[in-house]
A and B are shown apart, each in its own frame.
Chain A
């Protein structure tokens, strides 16, 4: 396939679905997700790597989609917030955020939930310090962090 100048083919899996996309070479993963795939659950905040709102999982690890170039995610498996629920059943981390009031405006929530999921996948019973460290790059400007940390603790109990 001939690829026009300024574009490139990008193969990756998004939420367990294989994709072959023709993307702008200078589009970030955030732009590809939101604009090419319509997955607007991934939020754009600072777009400079400072706030964590755009966090997605790349091969299971939290990364900031606003800074990732197409070449960096070639062949990877990306999980966005849309990929967590199974049908109408929310993921346990999402259920715990609801139950504990771990969100208010909700803008930081997709990134928080994904960073928390990555932590709990590796360590289902993290200490409070470990939770704080795992969420250190995800800023919340309205809920406060207490409900978020309690939600992650509850999600850990639900998963283990």
Chain B
């Protein structure tokens, strides 16, 4: 039996108290809500907190409600199942609910939370292994070592951003509210939650807790998320593209493209989508006859530099990043994904 090491489990009365407890116990403590990311990593010795600050019992984190401006606020403790099946969120922000529905498997989505998925640990074939494997291979800088095993010359860890919902939330203009010690709150864009370093991938302070995700009213924005993985049943993304299009009829007035699983943070590559602005997405553009979508996707995927530290070949993952972008654009424009096969 693969067992957890001993730890102290604390039950704060509120998220404010949870942040205070994190500050009090420093780097010996971590928060846990669903635990679907943390518990396996504790079993494999990738994370070794002595104190766990529980969030799962806090009902204040489990609400979904409309905001005054017509947007929606989703508590960080809302499960991925609940978020992905919320009709109002799904009608306004299909990229987000689709991304949430594509995380892992149903039993894990019944427990895993939307806050947990935004903060999900970065992944790497040299890190997501048992402690015995990592010791035999040689530890890496993300845990217990001092070099990057996949890119030994790299000064920073190259583990892969693996959240499905983060790119969708960024493409939709989402923000998160962070709660720090003393009840201090600040709201930052979801994009600003991340930095391109696989070891220190979250840009928030260690004692700050994600309280909720806010998505603005959709207006003319339509969206989609496309995920690439080996098994459609369960895997983390090997590449992913979230696209939001502001549409006036068939004409694109704005385009946001965000990639996941192609670096240590989600990449906002919306500049690549400017070529679509002012264009109609109806005929030749969609079928790929004029090469427009292929050009946009190639530009968007320039930032993607997959390494040999995940499932499937890194060259193929780069190619599939372009395909994911094309398919997400076609779907966001309201057309059948089958059209993307032609583009």
Is the CB–CB distance between B36 and A71 below 8 Å? no
Is residue B54 contacting chain A, with contact meaning CB distance below 8 A?
yes
Q: At the interface, yes or no: A77 with Cβ under 8 Å from chain B? A: no
Q: Mark B55-97, 1 if CB is under 8 A from A, else 0.
A: 0110000000000000000000000010000000000000000
**Known contacts A28-B39, A71-B11, A71-B54: A64-B107 contact under CB 8 Å:** yes
Which one of A12-20, A47-55, A78-86, A91-99 is at the interface?
A: A47-55
The stretch among B2-10, B18-26, B170-178, B182-190 that forms the contact with chain A is: B2-10
**B interface footprint on A43-81 (CB within 8 Å = 1, 0 otherwise):** 010011110100100000111101111111010000000
Q: For B275, what are the chain A residues with a Cβ–Cβ distance below 8 Å?
A: none
- In the complex formed, the residue of B with least CB distance to A55 is B107
Residues in chain A near residue B142, CB distance under 8 A: none
State which of A69, A74, A133 has its C-beta within 8 Å of the C-beta of B39: A69
Tell me how many residue pairs across A and B have CB atoms closer than 8 Å: 93
In Å, the complex CA distance between A48 and B106 comes to 15
Q: How far is the CA of A138 from the CA of B105 in the complex (A)?
A: 9
Contact of B106 among A27, A44, A134 (CB under 8 A): A134
B44–A48 touching, CB < 8 Å: yes
CA of A49 to CA of B42, assembled, Å: 12
Q: A26-B7, A28-B39, A47-B43 are in contact. Are A69 and B111 (CB under 8 A)?
A: no
Choose among B1, B6, B7, B108 the residue that contacts A49 (Cβ–Cβ < 8 A): B108
Q: Which of A6, A62, A68 contacts B35 (CB 8 A)?
A: A68
Asked if A136 is at the interface (CB within 8 A of a chain B CB), the reply is yes
| Complex interface bits, A20-36 against B, C-beta within 8 A gives 1, otherwise 0 | 00001111100100000
State the CA gap A70–B4 with chains docked (Å). Answer: 12
**Cα distance A79–B309 when bound, in Å?**
39
Do B2 and A48 have beta carbons less than 8 Å apart? yes
**Does A64 lie within 8 Å of B111, measured CB to CB?**
yes
Within A103-148, which residues are at the interface with B (CB < 8 Å)? 115, 133-134, 136-138
Q: Secondary structure at chain B's binding surface: helix, strand, loop or mixed? A: loop
A-side contacts of B9, CB under 8 Å:
8, 25, 69-71
Q: Mark B14-51, 1 if CB is under 8 A from A, else 0.
A: 00000000000000000010111001100110000000
Q: How far is the CB of A93 from chain B (nearest CB, A)?
A: 16
- B32/A137 in contact, CB under 8 A: no
Measured between beta carbons, the chain B residues less than 8 angstroms from A66 are 2, 39
| Measured CA separation A66–B39 after assembly (Å) | 9
B211-223 to A contact mask, C-beta < 8 Å, 1/0: 0000000000000
User: Which chain B residues border A25 with CB–CB below 8 Å?
Assistant: 6-9
| Assembled-state Cα–Cα distance A157/B36 (Å) | 34
Chain B residue numbers with a CB within 8 Å of A62 are 106-107, 110
Given the interface contacts A52-B107, A137-B104, does A67 sit within 8 Å of B35 by beta carbon? yes
In the complex the two chains form, is A136's CB within 8 Å of B233's CB? Answer: yes
User: What chain A residues lie within 8 Å of B40 (beta carbons)?
Assistant: 48-49, 67
Q: In the complex, which residues of chain B have a beta carbon less than 8 angstroms from the beta carbon of A50? A: 234
Residues of A within 8 A of B5 (CB): 26
Q: Inside 8 A of B3's CB, which chain A residues have their CB?
A: 26-28, 31
Which residues of the partner chain A approach B44 to less than 8 Å between Cβ atoms? 48
B contact residues around A24 at 8 Å (CB)? 6
Cβ-neighbour of A67 out of B7, B11, B39 (below 8 A): B39
Known: A26-B6, A137-B233. A115 touches B106 (CB 8 A): yes
Known: A25-B9, A63-B111, A71-B54. A49 touches B36 (CB 8 A): yes
Residues of A within 8 A of B81 (CB): 61
Chain A nearest CB: distance from B329 CB in Å? 25
Q: Which residues of chain B come closer than 8 Å to A44, judged between CB atoms?
A: 1
Known pairs A28-B39, A69-B39, A71-B57; A136 contacts B106 (CB<8 A): yes
Chain A positions within 8 Å of B, measured between CB atoms, are 6, 8, 24-28, 31, 44, 47-50, 52, 55, 61-64, 66-72, 74, 115, 133-134, 136-138
Extra contacts besides A26-B4, A63-B107, A70-B9 (20): CB < 8 Å = A26-B3, A26-B5, A26-B7, A28-B3, A47-B2, A48-B43, A61-B110, A62-B110, A63-B110, A64-B36, A64-B107, A67-B40, A67-B111, A68-B111, A69-B39, A69-B54, A72-B35, A72-B54, A137-B104, A137-B233
Instruction: List the 10 closest A-B pairs by CB distance, nearest first.
Output: A137-B105, A136-B233, A47-B2, A48-B40, A26-B4, A62-B107, A67-B39, A61-B110, A137-B107, A136-B105
* Pairs A–B under 8 Å by Cβ, sample size 12: A26-B6, A47-B1, A49-B108, A52-B107, A55-B107, A63-B110, A67-B111, A69-B54, A74-B57, A136-B233, A137-B108, A137-B233
